[in-house]
Amino acid sequence: MIQRRFVRETVLQAVYAYLQSGESVSHIISTLLKENLKEDAEALRFGERLFVLTLEQTDDWDAIIEQHIKNWEIGRLALIDKIILYIALSELTNFPDIPTKVTINEAIDIAKKYSTAKSGRFVNGILDASLIQLQKEQKISKTGRGLIG
């Protein structure tokens, strides 16, 4: 069974590849996601859904991120940090079975691994503020034990 952390890291690579290469979504899915996640059908479904939803909502995520970065322009953010935020925001709003704390902690850990030393704190701050905003706007629906809050 493939760990969700590995799936999230693979989605990060896939979104980065898509944004940098100009290749089609289907090409990235078949070459990156399916190749890396083919051993686990559930992980592949999660990865494909997270990848597609992330790309579909980048304009929404930019608008949310811009509200929470102080004295900075979104175009100046490190691409990896921005993609990590996109993925986390997609997961927060589209996966009711994943606790918000898990999503945020995963994003922080992935930022520490793939970006700069300060990226973990930056991602944490943006996601904490975004979570409050999204909850106020009722755009986050978590159900089940341990999923509320």
Residue 145 lies in a domain: no
Q: What is the pTM of this model?
A: 0.93
pLDDT in the model for residue 117: 83
Nearest to 13 by CA among 33, 27, 30: 33
Considering the domain architecture, whether residues 64 and 116 belong to the same structural domain is answered as yes
Considering the domain architecture, whether residues 34 and 52 belong to the same structural domain is answered as yes
Count Cβ atoms within 10 A of the Cβ of residue 47 and give its class: 0-12 exposed, 13-18 middle, 19 or more buried.
buried
Each residue of 63-121: pLDDT tens digit?
A: 999 999 977 777 789 999 999 999 999 999 999 999 999 999 999 999 999 999 899 99
Are 4 and 45 in contact by the 8 Å Cβ rule? The answer is: no
Considering the domain architecture, whether residues 90 and 100 belong to the same structural domain is answered as yes
Residue 94 is part of a domain; what is its CATH number? 1.10.940.10
Each residue of 21-65: pLDDT tens digit?
A: 999 999 999 999 999 999 999 999 999 999 999 999 999 999 999
Considering the domain architecture, whether residues 13 and 31 belong to the same structural domain is answered as yes
pLDDT in the model for residue 146: 54
Domain housing 13:
1-56
